Chains A and B, each alone.
Chain A
Amino acid sequence: MSTTSNAPKKNGIVEWIDYRLPIFTFMNHELREYPTPKNLNYWWNFGSLAGIVLVVMILSGIFLAMNYTAHVDYAFVSVERIMRDVNYGWLLRYIHMNGASMFFLVVYIHIFRGLYYGSYKPPREILWWLGLVILILMMATAFLGYVLPWGQMSFWGATVITNLFSAIPLVGEPIVTWLWGGFSVDNPTLNRFFSLHYLLPFVIVGVVMLHLVALHTHGSNNPLGIDTKKNPKDSIPFHPYYTVKDMFGLGVFLVIYAGFVFFAPNFFGEPVNYVPANPLQTPSEIVPEWYLLPFYAILRSVPDKLAGVIAMFGAIFILFLLPWLDSSKVRSATFRPIYKQLFWIFLADCLVLGWCGAQHPEGAPLLIGRLATAYYFLHFIVLLPLVSKFEKPRPLPESISTPVLKTEKA
């Protein structure tokens, strides 16, 4: 076991291929010797976890599609057939259903990790943008997929979300008709949603590749938020140190994921979606899946239709400006006493918005939702620019090794 030498083993066939298509050199460079900061904590597990969940979603989805029928008369029954008659169909569907929730959970943690440690700051702005593009594609894919079982919530969720576009002045109505392919959510809508739901995950894979290229250009950020290229002692090879750490995290994650799949498969779902779609009857309450609730709360807290839609989309698009709204040179919140507090308040604000999104928009929840929406934008537009200007950050260590050595002396 010569684990210390990180070079790939010599092998005639491998060398023959590698000379013509340098895939093994590439893999060795990006997955084995890729220099990684030595101080990454467990919050850095969630990027690779997200990638693995994406693969699980694509695989389970491909097999579900083999038994699914995208037609208003058969969609609901075909899903029930998957649940009752198809061998292990129930397992595939529960993996896919809960996988969507797990995907968002993992990605939201990954994003908040980036917010805390300033991973969006130079030179990683495009890396951050690509991540946001992935988030938007994920939301679109999840929404399209939720429509496919053609239950009541599928139908009415599709109706409400597509109607958001009717808020656009002048061209709103023709756009909605174009999205539907008719005058209401109907068979043409279901067909195209299935087509797009199958397409978008592969688009996500493409953007993930770009995300990785951007990541590997300047390497991972780290909990101290300092550049590690200056000191060679600050980096360790990705394999075996982080492959092992990622695998361990994956094991823990799979326990939780499997727990939902096998013991609470409908925990995240809405019971009313087991009622077949009825275009003539709206369910008493239309609620999106949990991962969209904060945005739904923002939509509903603005009394004007168009302004509400703008606020909801603005809540995501403002994140693209984050590298400029937060102009502090210091990345990690560890060294930013005021930003650190703002981060936790902002996280709480997002959770409050999520809670409001699940409530009936009247009385106290409506008022709380409005305040939380106001704070969401206040955080980005007012607080972050001011704090990044006036905050006095704590002194940064020169390298990752330095603070460790100091504590050893003391």
Chain B
Amino acid sequence: MSESAHASATHGHPGHGEGETRRDFLALAATAFAGAGAACALWPFIDSMNPAADTLALSTTDVDISPIAEGMRVTVKWRGRPVFIDHRTKKQIDEARAVNISELRDPAKDEDRAQKAEWLVMVGVCTHLGCIPLGQKQGDPTGDFGGWFCPCHGSHYDTSGRIRKGPAPLNLPVPPYKFLTDTSVSIG
């Protein structure tokens, strides 16, 4: 004990400046190491708040679209949020395709938004602050462009679900989906 204490005492004394820098370096290195370690240990806690495996497992929904007549709109639930399925009329498709896309806030061709022209599939959540736009039910307001109207802050969407007027920045998003058969769609 006394030997080591003596040794450190004699080591510490000569060359003040050098001893200080070495000690500073060790202190800095140790602090940085502990800091990086603490930051790494934080990650599991943060990541535990991300969607869990069972939440992710519920990520596809299959829909039978045979009962949906032309001109009808149906809402299904996918990942806890509504998906709009719109069996569009010829008139609605023509309207959507006649638009000059350079005038749009979020330019997108209707051809790119609908895999089959008569079927429009979109997540029915307003891109402003997440309300559900009206227009799915008979008698709902459909906005100035015959599509959907969000009552919360007044966004108007057209018959392709594109934003045309109001505060929303983007079109209603198209989820990943594929036609399993002519009468069945798998969303997700």
Residues of chain A having any CB pair with chain B under 8 Å = 156, 159-160, 162-164, 166, 177-186, 188, 192, 279-282, 284-286, 300, 303-305, 308, 361-362
B132 at the interface (CB under 8 A from A): yes
B79 at the interface (CB under 8 A from A): yes
B97 at the interface (CB under 8 A from A): no
Chain B residue, CB-CB nearest to A280: B82
Tell me whether A159 and B51 are in contact in the complex, defined as CB-CB below 8 angstroms, given that A184-B81, A279-B77 are known contacts. no
What are 5 A-B residue pairs whose CB atoms fall within 8 Å in the complex? A156-B131, A178-B49, A182-B79, A183-B79, A305-B168
Contact (Cβ within 8 A) A305 B51: no
CA distance A163 to B153 in the complex (A): 14
* A180 partner residues in chain B, CB cutoff 8 A: 51
Contact (Cβ within 8 A) A186 B80: yes
Residues of chain B having any CB pair with chain A under 8 Å = 46, 49-52, 55, 59, 75, 77, 79-82, 125, 128-132, 151-154, 167-169
Contact (Cβ within 8 A) A305 B55: no
Contact of B81 (CB < 8 Å), options: A164, A188, A192, A279:
A279
Chain A residue, CB-CB nearest to B188: A183
Contact (Cβ within 8 A) A164 B129: yes
Tell me whether A282 and B51 are in contact in the complex, defined as CB-CB below 8 angstroms, given that A182-B79, A183-B81, A184-B79 are known contacts. no
Contact (Cβ within 8 A) A188 B51: yes
Contact (Cβ within 8 A) B52 A160: no
Tell me whether A362 and B154 are in contact in the complex, defined as CB-CB below 8 angstroms, given that A159-B129, A184-B80, A282-B132 are known contacts. yes
4 further interface pairs, Cβ-Cβ under 8 Å (given A163-B129, A279-B77): A181-B52, A186-B80, A192-B49, A361-B154
Contact (Cβ within 8 A) B51 A181: yes
Chain B residue, CB-CB nearest to A161: B129
* B130 partner residues in chain A, CB cutoff 8 A: 159-160, 162-163, 166
* A163 partner residues in chain B, CB cutoff 8 A: 128-130
* B129 partner residues in chain A, CB cutoff 8 A: 159-160, 163-164, 305
Q: Closest CB of chain B to A197's CB: distance in Å?
A: 15
Contact (Cβ within 8 A) B52 A188: yes
Contact of B169 (CB < 8 Å), options: A192, A305, A362:
A305
Contact (Cβ within 8 A) B154 A178: no
CA distance A163 to B49 in the complex (A): 17
Contact of B80 (CB < 8 Å), options: A166, A183, A284, A285:
A183
CA distance A159 to B80 in the complex (A): 12
Tell me whether A280 and B77 are in contact in the complex, defined as CB-CB below 8 angstroms, given that A182-B51, A182-B55, A305-B167 are known contacts. yes
Q: Closest CB of chain A to B188's CB: distance in Å?
A: 10
Tell me whether A177 and B152 are in contact in the complex, defined as CB-CB below 8 angstroms, given that A183-B81, A281-B132 are known contacts. no
Contact (Cβ within 8 A) A279 B80: yes
Q: Closest CB of chain B to A88's CB: distance in Å?
A: 35
Contact (Cβ within 8 A) B152 A286: yes
* A159 partner residues in chain B, CB cutoff 8 A: 129-131
CA distance A280 to B75 in the complex (A): 8
Contact (Cβ within 8 A) A181 B131: no
* B59 partner residues in chain A, CB cutoff 8 A: 183
Chain A residue, CB-CB nearest to B124: A280
Contact of A177 (CB < 8 Å), options: B50, B75, B169:
B50
Q: Closest CB of chain B to A181's CB: distance in Å?
A: 6
Interface centre among A164, A166, A280 (most CB of B within 10 A): A280
CA distance A188 to B50 in the complex (A): 9
Tell me whether A160 and B80 are in contact in the complex, defined as CB-CB below 8 angstroms, given that A280-B132, A282-B132 are known contacts. no
* A186 partner residues in chain B, CB cutoff 8 A: 55, 80
Chain B residue, CB-CB nearest to A179: B49
CA distance A184 to B80 in the complex (A): 6
Tell me whether A282 and B131 are in contact in the complex, defined as CB-CB below 8 angstroms, given that A300-B153, A361-B153 are known contacts. yes
* A361 partner residues in chain B, CB cutoff 8 A: 153-154
* B125 partner residues in chain A, CB cutoff 8 A: 184
Q: Closest CB of chain A to B53's CB: distance in Å?
A: 12
Contact (Cβ within 8 A) B79 A285: no
Contact (Cβ within 8 A) A178 B153: no
Chain A residue, CB-CB nearest to B55: A182
Contact (Cβ within 8 A) B131 A279: no
Contact (Cβ within 8 A) B128 A305: yes
Tell me whether A178 and B80 are in contact in the complex, defined as CB-CB below 8 angstroms, given that A159-B131, A282-B152 are known contacts. no
* B50 partner residues in chain A, CB cutoff 8 A: 177-178, 181
Chain B residue, CB-CB nearest to A279: B80
Q: Closest CB of chain B to A144's CB: distance in Å?
A: 14
Chain A residue, CB-CB nearest to B125: A184
CA distance A181 to B53 in the complex (A): 11
Chain A residue, CB-CB nearest to B134: A282
Chain B residue, CB-CB nearest to A176: B130
Chain B residue, CB-CB nearest to A278: B132
CA distance A192 to B131 in the complex (A): 22
* B51 partner residues in chain A, CB cutoff 8 A: 177, 180-183, 188
* A162 partner residues in chain B, CB cutoff 8 A: 130
Chain A residue, CB-CB nearest to B81: A184
Q: Closest CB of chain B to A165's CB: distance in Å?
A: 11
